Structure 1
Amino acid sequence: MYEQISHSLLNEILEELQPNIYERRRELQHFYTRLGANFYAIHNLFELLYGQRDDFKFQMTRLVEVLVRKYMNRSRKLKDLDLAREKDHNWFLSQQWVGMALYSAGFAGNLRNMATKTAYFQELGVNLVHIMPILKCPIGKSDGGYAASDFRMIDERVGTLDDLQAIAEEFNKRDILMVLDVVVNHTSDEHEWAQKAIAGDTKYQDYYYIFENRDIPDMYEESMPEIFPESSPGNFTWNETMQKWVMTVFHDFQWDLNYSNPAVFIEMIDVILFWINQGADIIRLDAVAFLWKKMGTICQNEREAHLLLQLMKDCCQVTAPGTLFIAEAIVAPVEIIKYFGEDAIIAKECEIAYNATLMALLWDAIATQNSKLLTQGLKSLPDKLERATWLNYVRCHDDIGLGFDDNDIRAAGYEPFAHRQFLIDFFTGNYPGSFANGAPFMRNDKTGDARISGSLASLAGLEKATQSGNEQEVAIAIDKILLLHNLIMAFGGIPLLYYGDEIGTFNDYGYLNDHDKSADSRWIHRPAIDWERAELRKKQGTIEHTLFTALKKMIAIRKETTAFADFNNRHLIDTNNEHLFAFMRFDHNRPSERVLVVSNFSAEAQSLDLQTLAQEGFGNSVELTDLYSGKRPTIEEGRLIVQPFHFYWLNEY
């Protein structure tokens, strides 16, 4: 296709829209510039996905109209922010960003109260806050907020749009980024679109995958895995009113959207831009791996799903270029990397992706007290793009999946099935000597698979140690929690804390008494913050003070250390000691300024031969200082000594 063709179509579209936007044409100067620069890509992608349709030009016109309308509705303050971020296009790769994910109801009761808690984030050093789903959802069928019944209405149980605006203004004053979710893969069956489909409206039946009988669903089922085999087996649900089958990959009340229909894509772009215009700096796109369904496949990670994300990104670059995307794609490492896009440098899909691989590998190292699989798994993780970054986390609202590559497990010396069973048993407290208080999630009796639920403090042994009153075990559990956080702070990317972890919040077993939650063990780690207990962070000698103060210090040091910015400036080091995990970080502008990160996953002190570091050109005839403690590390007979479950951030002086 020649570029002239796409621009000729753009001229026709603009002439058609011109009478409606003529009065504000000067205001649209930047919009026109961006639209002209991006339209060839937008047209090309839209044609690849929908070019076979008779209504292609009509749908293309509707898409451009959505983009211009949303730009015209964007506030001057947000437009100025777009311009500033265009000039400083690597702003999000800075080491300055540290995030926290939270449920507003669990963190503060509701959005209005949350606006009063922003000083807490500043006290800790957090300047990026992911407010997890706040959209209207049915009671009892919400999937933790991920079953939206209205994409533009906040659930009245947590607040209003005015409350969110108050948060956005408060965050803006304190230079805190706001992250919001858009659930792009599905709607609740109580959404207006689904209700119209149920009533027989064929326009809205085309928004979903709906079938007269089991013939086509059965063909899909031949290759599709089950996401929630315990609670929602299969991928289709019979709707009694329609007398038809609906694709429901996650739960029977979550209807999968049909993106082969361009009207669905345009609707969802409108939704995404709506929340961006509410002040979201970053949009988390939920379940992006599932966006395109193709018979004969697992219906995940399809090429068209990536084309859709590229198209979403290009559209938002036109209207709101200062906004970033997070890809929520919890898939195999070789697939995760693709959600940045496959450009040589720039993220063409999502600038940020969850580093689920690192998270799962960290928990493996805690259980095994060695870094064999951690090191092997990260060696197999492909390099990300230069202008993209990881979201590194220890815990989140979801379960821990053991999605390591089988080849990496074997390379680390384990048998894949047996090793996963060990981890499941260990973290659910069923392995002799385990310190963990976790719960299995979605155990699949057919495959033996399961995932793991539990709060960080409970999985790391702090709950058991506190209950037993064993001060030594309490100290060890705290060391493990800090060991894990040291790595998400230093690895490269944006560290994302999970609310409550900064004060050692335990499992919440109250969900078992709630009929709507008792079947979903993930609610065990979705707590309501006890603010009286949180006040103990100010009292020396308490667990809360120890954890909060240590994390606050870690965050402050991270922000001052330019080597922790994310420009693919990390180098793994072979320690010749399976208990130690080490890597080098260096300032991409001044490569001689380096930080060596060394972590000991063993219950015994471990040593690292300084000759190993000398081979890396580090530590020769200079003094080493630990940035975290401010002290010189212990060195005995030419070997660096690392205490049990401790870490170093070593700098050369």
Structure 2
Amino acid sequence: MTETADLPIEEILFQKVIDHLRVIYPELDIRAIARDLIHTMRLDEDCQKPLAHKNLWDQTDITVITYGNSILSDDNNQKPLHTLHHFLKTHFTMLINSVHILPFFPYSSDDGFAVSAYKQVDPPLGDWNDILRISTDFHLMADLVINHCSAQHEWFRNYQQGKDPGNGFFVEADPRDDLSMVVRPRVTPLLRPTETPDGTRYVWCTFGHDQVDLNFRNPKVLAKIVDIIRLYLDMGIRIFRLDAVAFIWKRAGSICLNLKETHEIVRLLRTLIEHANPNAVIITETNIPNRENLSYFGNANEAHCIYNFSLPPLLVNTLISGNCQHLKNWLMAMPPAQNGTTYFNFIASHDGIGLRPVEGLLDDSEQEALVQTMENFGGQISWRALDDGSNKPYEINISLFDALKGTVSGEDQWQLERFICAHAIMLALEGIPAFYLHSLVGTTNDYARMKEHGHNRAINRRQWQEQELNERLADRESHHHKVFHRLRQLIQLRREQPAFHPNATQFTLHLGQQIFAFWRQSLDRRQSIFCINNISDVPQEISLNAINLIGTDEWKDLVSDTTFNDMLATVTLAPYQTLWITNRT
């Protein structure tokens, strides 16, 4: 019998694709579908062998998340993508090596996530040449918005006319179907009545009536998505963010979330992408409870990275309550990621602080206290509908800088220190850290933009004029300068430490409820770092003996550059102070 390893890579790939399709389309001619997908990806011309369990990252990998038009030039003739590229090169060269540009395609709503043309760059932002130039200087992440497209997309307009491509591209349901269990993050009606040549049809809209869900039961839809992926690879995109991917397969009578076909489609896309570029990375964006989120690692054969959605609400809750018990419990329960997979850590984003990921981690009263505190600091609340007809808070919309302006007791003088502490924790945790651009520069709530756009998420989507932002970053008295300067220092320190490799060993330490601490050890076991954070607004004392520093090693705090000679000494941490105590000097 011929061993699989002895077969040509093209035959191995074909069989893998067949195996995926057998789960997704058991009743169809999957061999023809497999050949079509492989041809679309040009894997019949150039097929590369991916390496299993290979880490495609190290401690120097740090991402910035931004809209293509978050930075605008005073020159009206300069496209925003060009301005963004210039800003990134000016301020982040040798610090940040990856950039996630949020949807840069033509769209009709949701600040880009209702895509009306997948193969174009939105003309007001720039063109594909701008994308290619950015991808030469940074690893570029792009959104693959595959659960839905805009109601203005050509496919949906064709669907309304009974034409191709588009006919059969959208999920239809009967209002009499059992849809009571469907989980979704909106309060709008699930089904949209739509007139077609065959009469009124009811199309599925998980996120709203301008975002119409694509029908992956139709293999022609899958083929279109694979064709889009091929273009993105050609345009220099290396990291694919699968937006809202948990919702892509529907079955009446179920929750329509995380179904087996959904996971198999992720595995299929992984197989196709990594055979085209073994260094490409898939990240799943699944804003769901923690256990369900972890399932998207599969057996190291689905996502390379998963968003650590529980981190933002748990960390904010920790810092406003002065109690890290829930954060410690969560960290202890997080399984170490296998080689070839890792966590994608973020604490602020273009959306908000999601609350679904802390279901089962914070009780109702703790969530209510978190929501109330954020409202006191100017935050807004977005809601989702429950199956009993009631609504429940889904996410908190607020800039992270404002979210940390105080505690449950109110505003105080520790906003900057609390904000820096939050990012120091993120930078040190197992995984790849990702900074929202507005956090890096200390952007505050934008009430004018929220009012102008009429939705809560706009509060944290400010557009800066490049010259104004540069002036604020240069002003030493400005909080923007202080945030930017200190975060740059921490980023540089992280990049130099092997113990901060995304897959380095991590253990939780127990130093009380006001000190959040954990230990990291490099893959070669030569470096240890004890990450110790006072998450309260009062000084805290710890004994170095409590963390068992090895007496034969030399230890120092990387952040303050303080050396420790007495292993029995007591150290006092100021409110929100961070220590990174290491034996590697």
TM-score normalised by the chain length of structure 2: 0.90
d(CA) in 2 for partners of 1:652 and 1:203?
A: 61
Q: How does 1:508-587 map to 2 (within 5 A)?
A: 508-514=446-452, 517-518=453-454, 520-531=455-466, 532-575=468-511, 577-587=512-522
Q: State the shift of 1:512 in Å.
A: 3.9
d(CA) in 1 for partners of 2:432 and 2:135?
A: 21
Q: Note if contact 1:292-1:300 (Cα within 8 Å) is conserved in structure 2.
A: yes
Q: Note if contact 1:276-1:283 (Cα within 8 Å) is conserved in structure 2.
A: no
d(CA) in 2 for partners of 1:34 and 1:368?
A: 55
The corresponding residue for 2:335 is: 382
Q: State the shift of 1:97 in Å.
A: 0.8
Q: State the shift of 1:530 in Å.
A: 3.8
| Pairing partner for 2:310 from 329, 346, 357 | 357
Residue 481 of structure 1: SS of its match in structure 2? helix
Q: Note if contact 2:305-2:343 (Cα within 8 Å) is conserved in structure 1.
A: yes
Pairing 1:215–2:176 present: yes
Q: Note if contact 2:170-2:213 (Cα within 8 Å) is conserved in structure 1.
A: yes
d(CA) in 2 for partners of 1:3 and 1:511?
A: 63
Q: Provide Cα deviations, 1:12-40, integer angstroms capped at 9, x if missing partner.
A: xxxxxxxxxxxxxxxxxxxx954333222
The letter for the 1-side match of 2:101 is I
d(CA) in 1 for partners of 2:550 and 2:572?
A: 14
Residue 237 of structure 2: SS of its match in structure 1? coil
Q: Note if contact 2:106-2:120 (Cα within 8 Å) is conserved in structure 1.
A: yes
The corresponding residue for 1:449 is: 393
The corresponding residue for 1:190 is: 152
Q: How does 1:179-578 map to 2 (within 5 A)?
A: 179-201=141-163, 204-211=166-173, 213-216=174-177, 219-220=178-179, 222-229=180-187, 233-241=188-196, 242-342=199-299, 347-409=300-362, 416-429=363-376, 436-442=377-383, 446-461=390-405, 473=413, 476-514=414-452, 517-518=453-454, 520-531=455-466, 532-575=468-511, 577-578=512-513
d(CA) in 1 for partners of 2:279 and 2:45?
A: 12
Q: How does 1:588-607 map to 2 (within 5 A)?
A: 588-589=523-524, 591-607=525-541
Q: State the shift of 1:452 in Å.
A: 0.4
Q: Provide Cα deviations, 1:211-255, integer angstroms capped at 9, x if missing partner.
A: 4x4223xx12x10134111xxx23211114551100001111111
Q: Note if contact 2:551-2:567 (Cα within 8 Å) is conserved in structure 1.
A: no
Provide closer, same or farther for how the CA distance between residues 636 and 568 of structure 1 changes in structure 2, counting only shifts above 3 A. Answer: closer
Q: Provide Cα deviations, 1:34-68, integer angstroms capped at 9, x if missing partner.
A: 43332222111112211312x43332221122122
Q: Provide Cα deviations, 1:278-317, integer angstroms capped at 9, x if missing partner.
A: 0012111111111211222211111111110100111112
d(CA) in 2 for partners of 1:487 and 1:352?
A: 19
Q: Provide Cα deviations, 1:550-578, integer angstroms capped at 9, x if missing partner.
A: 11111111111000002251111111x10
Provide closer, same or farther for how the CA distance between residues 45 and 330 of structure 1 changes in structure 2, counting only shifts above 3 A. Answer: same
The worse-fitting range, judged by mean Cα deviation, of 495-504 and 540-549 is 540-549
Structure 2 unaligned residues grouped into runs of 5+: 74-79
Pairing 1:163–2:130 present: yes
d(CA) in 1 for partners of 2:61 and 2:117?
A: 31
Q: Note if contact 1:249-1:256 (Cα within 8 Å) is conserved in structure 2.
A: yes
Residue 209 of structure 2: SS of its match in structure 1? coil
Residue 322 of structure 1: SS of its match in structure 2? coil
Q: Note if contact 2:59-2:494 (Cα within 8 Å) is conserved in structure 1.
A: yes
The corresponding residue for 1:608 is: 542
Q: Note if contact 1:334-1:381 (Cα within 8 Å) is conserved in structure 2.
A: no
d(CA) in 1 for partners of 2:235 and 2:165?
A: 29
Residue 632 of structure 1: SS of its match in structure 2? strand
The letter for the 1-side match of 2:433 is P
Q: State the shift of 1:133 in Å.
A: 0.3
Q: State the shift of 1:406 in Å.
A: 4.9
Q: Note if contact 2:450-2:457 (Cα within 8 Å) is conserved in structure 1.
A: no
Q: State the shift of 1:484 in Å.
A: 0.7
Q: Note if contact 1:534-1:544 (Cα within 8 Å) is conserved in structure 2.
A: no
Q: State the shift of 1:378 in Å.
A: 1.9
Pairing 1:46–2:21 present: yes
Provide closer, same or farther for how the CA distance between residues 35 and 245 of structure 1 changes in structure 2, counting only shifts above 3 A. Answer: same
Q: Provide Cα deviations, 1:62-87, integer angstroms capped at 9, x if missing partner.
A: 11221227966xxxxxx9xx89xx68
Residue 23 of structure 2: SS of its match in structure 1? helix
The letter for the 2-side match of 1:59 is I
The corresponding residue for 1:627 is: 558
d(CA) in 1 for partners of 2:456 and 2:396?
A: 9
Q: Note if contact 1:398-1:453 (Cα within 8 Å) is conserved in structure 2.
A: yes
Pairing 1:37–2:12 present: yes
The corresponding residue for 1:116 is: 86
Q: State the shift of 1:268 in Å.
A: 0.6
Q: Note if contact 1:634-1:640 (Cα within 8 Å) is conserved in structure 2.
A: no
d(CA) in 2 for partners of 1:277 and 1:94?
A: 25
The corresponding residue for 1:60 is: 34
The letter for the 2-side match of 1:183 is V
Q: Note if contact 2:504-2:521 (Cα within 8 Å) is conserved in structure 1.
A: no
d(CA) in 1 for partners of 2:124 and 2:383?
A: 28
Q: Note if contact 2:287-2:357 (Cα within 8 Å) is conserved in structure 1.
A: no
Pairing 1:100–2:31 present: no
Q: State the shift of 1:438 in Å.
A: 1.5
Q: State the shift of 1:353 in Å.
A: 1.3
The letter for the 2-side match of 1:294 is R
The corresponding residue for 2:77 is: none
d(CA) in 2 for partners of 1:391 and 1:203?
A: 36
The letter for the 2-side match of 1:461 is K
Q: Note if contact 1:93-1:388 (Cα within 8 Å) is conserved in structure 2.
A: no
d(CA) in 2 for partners of 1:399 and 1:441?
A: 9
Q: Note if contact 1:223-1:296 (Cα within 8 Å) is conserved in structure 2.
A: yes
d(CA) in 1 for partners of 2:82 and 2:447?
A: 27
d(CA) in 1 for partners of 2:340 and 2:55?
A: 10
Q: Note if contact 1:93-1:389 (Cα within 8 Å) is conserved in structure 2.
A: no
d(CA) in 1 for partners of 2:141 and 2:289?
A: 25
Q: Provide Cα deviations, 1:310-333, integer angstroms capped at 9, x if missing partner.
A: 001111122222211111111111
d(CA) in 2 for partners of 1:453 and 1:215?
A: 35
The letter for the 1-side match of 2:380 is A
Q: State the shift of 1:455 in Å.
A: 0.9
Flag the structure with higher helix content.
1
The CA RMSD over aligned residues, in Å, is 2.8
Q: Note if contact 2:185-2:384 (Cα within 8 Å) is conserved in structure 1.
A: no
Q: Provide Cα deviations, 1:160-190, integer angstroms capped at 9, x if missing partner.
A: 2222223334x1xxxx211111101111111
Provide closer, same or farther for how the CA distance between residues 540 and 560 of structure 1 changes in structure 2, counting only shifts above 3 A. Answer: same
Query: What number of residue pairs does the alignment pair up?
Result: 568
d(CA) in 1 for partners of 2:583 and 2:209?
A: 57
> What is the identity percentage for the equivalent residue pairs of Structure 1 and Structure 2?
23
